[in-house]
Structure 1
Amino acid sequence: MSQSPSRDTPPPPRPRSTRTISRWILTRPDRLHDDEQRQLNDVRACCLELDALSRHVGAFAYLLTRPTDATVTDWITAVRADDLPALRTYATGLERDVDAVTTGRTLPRRSGPVEGHVNRIKMIKRQMYGRANFDLLRKRALLTP
């Protein structure tokens, strides 16, 4: 006869979802709770690919948010050395636009305000879909703050 677990023994913890682990990886380490940081370290210790992925994601975030001597090309080379399928496609896309990414990192100008206006105009267009012509869309876009 097999023994059934006693009622005093707590059940083993549920495995964490992919979404939860992704959130932990994408969150700045100083913003994770101690328990979350410990669990992320446990997961990273169990899976070497996940550990490499986490290191590359952190390095890329550091590269984009803080001044550093490292370049995007250095990051792409490091990703290719580990041959992670999850990042290979992203690194290939970055490599195609490496000049634009480098320029975006180094210039003080940003396209955020322009993107915000484009987003606002698209929202107005969706609201008006099928109701009026371009003249009304133009007036709403120009007169709306």
Structure 2
Amino acid sequence: MEGCTNASALTREIQRLGYRGDVNTVRRHLKPYRNGAIPATAPSPHLTVRRVTDWTMRRPEHLTDLERKGLDELCERNPALATTVEYARRLALMIRTRRSEHLALDVWIADDSGPVEGRVNHIKMIKRQMFGRAKLPLLRKRVLLTAAQGSHRHQA
């Protein structure tokens, strides 16, 4: 029944092949195909958040070739996930090796989140300065204004 989108007919056919689910499950699975929103490369049905987390936190040398390939493909499709995997592995390595020097953790934290922490602290300072004097629209304008001034300073 190639191309069949009738959930009842498809359910009957796959039940003859051993499927034990019901028509509602098949209907939910078919819905994206009917809307035309199904991605060209749908993720494996066996791919779960727990499985990807396991792949990320396990030592790379302990992954099977199939697991390594699956994680690599996910990271290629999602650069944010690739960055997360890299940081998670670096943190796991620091914890496993139990480095006594705190500098390693400070460097790791400052590696990418230093500028973010600086902006957060700056926003908190502005909020404290304005406490009880202004509402959110003025706070927003001040934050955006100081951010624009900060970017001009860095360009000069």
TM-score normalized with structure 2 length: 0.41
Higher relative contact order (CA 8 A, sep 6+): 1
When Rg is computed on C-alpha atoms for both structures, the one with the higher figure is 2
